[in-house]
């Protein structure tokens, strides 16, 4: 049997690996970063569960213990941390010690290192303040054309990227006596096909967005940021499903500038502004994931549901009947590498009910446990080795 399997492997596995292993756009990435990408690509029908800010705070708590031990609402409900931790850099460019949602960057570094040490995956988004007037990312002004190479505020964009570089270069841990740079899935300039951020459609010409993206990637690579995997993430609500490929690729900077074909989808999961029936939303949720994976595979890249969720998770059995039902609808939907839901806002810091995961006592907590126990969901307690 074993011998037969060996022959089979020689005949099929090697050629398969040679063609199916995608390459990162930056050839100089660290071995751990290359391994992460390779392992994301070969998860098959397993999907990593991710949660934004999961270790930083939850609905009813904040921070970590004096002995450095960490929490997560997801851990409190399932006894496992999520496989993917999302963090947002917004504010780092202004020299703030906390991000826009109040998380200290020093604390983020702790959570990122802990996630990596447990074998988990880290991803960053960046609600960047404007390099022109420091207004927040929701200011709808035509800044981008002044930030790209040749623009009058270009140097300020470079300074902002340098602030990220300084933080990124601190993200190392010792593994077996060697210093390892923690790989990061970096997802800048997200949801650009919407009109709510200053880099979005309406305030930015498509070609200028492409220049912004290409400059960002080229600059970070030139500066030796070799721990980055670049994820592209338009918003589903602005994608024409009848014309997915073309519509998805609004602002697409090219296959040499993207590693992960992602998208953010709140729209098909019960977004209050979406007026089509639940059944129709669910059909489109599934269809979108199929098309996303088809597009990624046609380009030899990895697909991901880079942000998702239902604010306040109001629908009974959301996790099983909506989320898992969509992600595991068929062998294509299940090919996405990860699905990250947005943050559980701390109830004392702003809006109550602005949560996308679960927490102890929350109405869908037991349904979440069923989701956690699904054979194809991956949390940190079942994550395969991603860095070798
Ligand atoms: C949004 C909301 C905001 C938050 C921002 C950045 O979707 O959650 O409250 O400030 O993301 O995390």
> pLDDT for 220-243, tens place per residue?
999 999 999 999 999 999 999 999
Any domain includes 387: no
pLDDT in tens, 178-194: 999 999 999 999 999 99
pLDDT band at 383 (very low <50, low <70, confident <90, very high): very high
**DSSP state string for 113-164:** HHHHHTT-EEEEE--PPPTTT---TT-----HHHHSTTSTTHHHHHHHHHHH
Are the C-beta atoms of 204 and 189 separated by less than 8 Å?
no
pLDDT band at 196 (very low <50, low <70, confident <90, very high): very high
Counting the structural domains of the chain, the total is 1
Q: How far is ligand 1, taken at its centre, from the CA of residue 262, in Å? A: 19
Q: How far is ligand 1, taken at its centre, from the CA of residue 344, in Å? A: 10
pLDDT in tens, 291-312: 999 999 999 999 999 999 999 9
Any domain includes 133: yes
Q: How far is ligand 1, taken at its centre, from the CA of residue 32, in Å? A: 30
CA 14/CA 12 separation, integer angstroms: 6
CA 277/CA 284 separation, integer angstroms: 11
Q: Note the Cα 167 to chain centre separation in Å.
A: 18
Any domain includes 238: yes
Q: How far is ligand 1, taken at its centre, from the CA of residue 103, in Å? A: 12
**Ligand 1 lining (C-beta closer than 6 Å):** 88, 100-101, 127, 342-343
Q: What is the pLDDT of residue 20?
A: 53
* Best residue among 101, 266, 345, 347 to mutate for probing ligand 1, ranked by most atoms within 8 Å of CB: 101
* Best residue among 89, 108, 343 to mutate for probing ligand 1, ranked by most atoms within 8 Å of CB: 343
Helical spans, DSSP H, in the chain: 2-8, 14-20, 31-41, 73-78, 105-117, 144-147, 154-168, 206-222, 244-248, 278-298, 325-327, 365-372
Any domain includes 123: yes
CA 35/CA 354 separation, integer angstroms: 35
**Nearest CA owner, ligand 1 atom 8:** 343
**Nearest CA owner, ligand 1 atom 4:** 101
Average pLDDT over residues 12-34: 73
Q: Which residues pair with 242 in a beta bridge?
A: none
Q: Note the Cα 60 to chain centre separation in Å.
A: 24
Nearest to 40 by CA among 359, 272, 293, 370: 293
Q: How far is ligand 1, taken at its centre, from the CA of residue 27, in Å? A: 33
Any domain includes 37: yes
Any domain includes 286: yes
If phi over 0 gives left and psi between -120 and 50 gives alpha, with beta otherwise, what is residue 224? left
Q: What is the pLDDT of residue 351?
A: 85
* Best residue among 54, 85, 100 to mutate for probing ligand 1, ranked by most atoms within 8 Å of CB: 100
Ligand 1 nearest-atom number relative to CA 100: 10
**Nearest CA owner, ligand 1 atom 9:** 101
Average pLDDT over residues 53-57: 98
Q: How far is ligand 1, taken at its centre, from the CA of residue 61, in Å? A: 18
pLDDT band at 5 (very low <50, low <70, confident <90, very high): very low
**Nearest CA owner, ligand 1 atom 3:** 101
Q: How far is ligand 1, taken at its centre, from the CA of residue 191, in Å? A: 13
Ligand 1 nearest-atom number relative to CA 101: 10
For the entire predicted model, the pTM comes to 0.95
CA 113/CA 191 separation, integer angstroms: 27
Q: How far is ligand 1, taken at its centre, from the CA of residue 127, in Å? A: 8
Any domain includes 388: no
Any domain includes 217: yes
Q: How far is ligand 1, taken at its centre, from the CA of residue 88, in Å? A: 9
Nearest to 307 by CA among 337, 272, 261, 262: 262
CA 159/CA 8 separation, integer angstroms: 53
Ligand 1 nearest-atom number relative to CA 351: 9
Q: What is the pLDDT of residue 350?
A: 80
Ligand 1 nearest-atom number relative to CA 350: 9
Q: What is the mean pLDDT of the chain?
A: 95
pLDDT of 111 above 80: yes
CATH code, domain carrying 70? 3.20.20.80
Q: Which domain holds residue 136?
A: 6-382
Q: How far is ligand 1, taken at its centre, from the CA of residue 101, in Å? A: 7
CA 108/CA 288 separation, integer angstroms: 32
């Amino acid at each position: 049997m074993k011998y037969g399997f060996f022959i089979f492997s020689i005949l099929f596995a090697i050629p398969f690996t040679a063609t199916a292993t995608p390459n990162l756009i930056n050839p100089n990435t660290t071995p751990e970063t290359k391994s992460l990408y390779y392992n994301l690509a070969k998860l098959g029908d397993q999907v990593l569960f991710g949660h934004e800010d999961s270790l930083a705070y939850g609905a009813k708590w904040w921070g970590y213990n004096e002995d450095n031990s960490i929490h997560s609402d997801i851990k409190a409900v399932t006894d496992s941390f999520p496989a993917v931790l999302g963090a947002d850099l917004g504010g780092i460019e202004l020299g703030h010690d906390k991000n826009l949602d109040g998380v200290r960057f020093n604390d983020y570094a702790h959570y990122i290192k802990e996630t990596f040490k447990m074998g988990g995956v880290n991803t960053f988004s960046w609600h960047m303040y404007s390099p022109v007037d420091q207004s927040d990312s929701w200011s709808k002004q035509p800044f981008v054309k002044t930030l790209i190479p040749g623009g009058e505020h270009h140097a300020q964009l470079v300074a902002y990227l340098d602030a990220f570089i300084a933080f990124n270069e601190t993200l190392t841990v010792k593994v077996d006596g060697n210093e390892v740079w923690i790989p990061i899935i970096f997802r800048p300039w997200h949801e650009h096909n919407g009109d709510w951020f200053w880099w979005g459609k309406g305030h930015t010409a498509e070609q200028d967005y492409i220049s912004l993206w290409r400059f960002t990637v080229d600059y970070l690579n030139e500066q030796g940021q070799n721990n980055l995997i670049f994820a592209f993430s338009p918003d589903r609500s602005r994608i024409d499903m009848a014309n997915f490929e073309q519509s998805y690729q609004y602002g697409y900077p090219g296959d040499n500038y993207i590693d992960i074909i992602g998208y953010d989808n709140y729209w098909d999961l019960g977004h209050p502004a979406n007026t089509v029936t639940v059944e129709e939303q669910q059909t489109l949720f599934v269809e979108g994931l199929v098309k996303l994976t088809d597009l990624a595979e046609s380009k030899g890249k990895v697909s991901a549901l880079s942000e998702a969720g239902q604010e306040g998770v109001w629908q009974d059995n959301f996790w099983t009947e909506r989320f898992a039902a969509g992600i595991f609808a068929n062998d294509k939907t299940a090919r996405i590498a990860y699905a990250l839901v947005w943050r559980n806002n701390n109830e004392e810091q702003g809006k109550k009910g602005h949560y996308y995961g679960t927490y102890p006592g929350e109405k869908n907590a037991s349904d979440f446990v069923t989701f956690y126990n699904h054979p194809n969901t991956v949390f940190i307690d079942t994550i395969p080795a991603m860095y070798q």
